[in-house]
Amino acid sequence: MKHLNHHIKKYNESLIEGHIQKAYRGIIDTISQLKTTWDSRYPTTPSGSLYAGFMDMTFISVKPSVLSDMDLRVSIVYMHESHTFEVWLVARNRKIQSTVHNQLRSKELGKYSLTELGPGVDSIIALTLNSEPDFNDIEVLINEIIEKTWNFILDMTDLVR
């Protein structure tokens, strides 16, 4: 296993090139704009704080009332390594996650499938929204993510009832 100094040296070399800062800033700005657009479009289903992450994932969560009443929420997630946007059905804690996961096992999930639960797995159901996001057209990207997320919320609401 390489020492931390080696990784920091590689990190610093990458920073000198300047791409990491610009890309990361663009990702954060996009999620911030997504949050603002979501909140103006769905004021009764506001989003929570932006979680910047550790260059693994960046996300916001929304709490539709029906799901929130069951201690569930939906997270819109940018996965840095795979360069994808995903939407997740998540629970307030691991106990609720396990309970809902078990309840959904006996249901017909249609186009969805349950996530394999394990350490570090937050989603109950995950769906890729965009596997090749175009950050050069933020408005189109955000509208696509919001539309697909809203449809996911409607589907999840039907599934958990």
Please give the tally of structural domains in the chain: 1
CB neighbours of residue 141 within 10 Å: 19
Amino acid at 37: T
CB neighbours of residue 28 within 10 Å: 15
Low-confidence ranges of the chain (pLDDT < 50): none
Residue whose tokens read 């360069």: 83
Domain range enclosing 22: 4-160
Give the CA-trace dihedral at 154, 46, 62, 139, to 10 degrees. 80
pLDDT tens track for 39-49: 999 999 989 99
